[in-house]
Amino acid sequence: MQKNKNLIRNIGIVLLNIFMVVSLVLVLILKNDYGYNLYWVITPFLMVLVLMVISRWSVRGLNVDRNESIVIQRSFDDTTVISTVIFGIIYLTIQFIDYIKHGLINNSIVIIIFFVVMVAYELITYLAIYVAKRDTAKLLEKIYNNKK
């Protein structure tokens, strides 16, 4: 059951990233409202799915050793929280400025910059997960080799 949820979440992230690229192409080539609306609707859903991945891995963090596993978990939590907060502030700032000055979210430059921010946010998240998994594996290997 849990593997099905992970598979659905991973497929959702891949599909939303594909739709995001398609909407970016629609915005840059056709410059129609459909592309703009599709882009700004997909963004929060993609952020929610990435947050679900973060929370899923955060729950699975191993508490093998009191000192080192806490450092690994703390590093993961700090990285993901800071990147999520910065991404959220950028998103909300764009939406607030659009509320005051209509038409900002239909600007191609804003969409390109936010696309780069979104890709960077996803890369930072997956890099943090990779580093935490790698460090946990090294810790488990060290503990297992010391027990022999």
The answer to whether 132 and 57 are in contact (CB under 8 A) is yes
- DSSP state for residue 106 in the 8-state scheme: G
pLDDT above 90 (res 113) = yes
From 78, 21, 24, select the one nearest 54 (Cα to Cα): 78
The band of 117, judged by pLDDT with boundaries at 50, 70 and 90, is very high
Q: 42-46, 103-107, 126-130, 139-143: which has the minimum mean pLDDT?
A: 139-143
From 30, 63, 29, select the one nearest 136 (Cα to Cα): 63
pLDDT attached to residue 60: 56
Put residue 61 in one of left, alpha, beta given phi > 0 → left and psi -120 to 50 → alpha.
Answer: beta
The mean pLDDT value for 74-85 works out to 85
Paired tokens of 58: 């955060």
pLDDT above 90 (res 74) = no
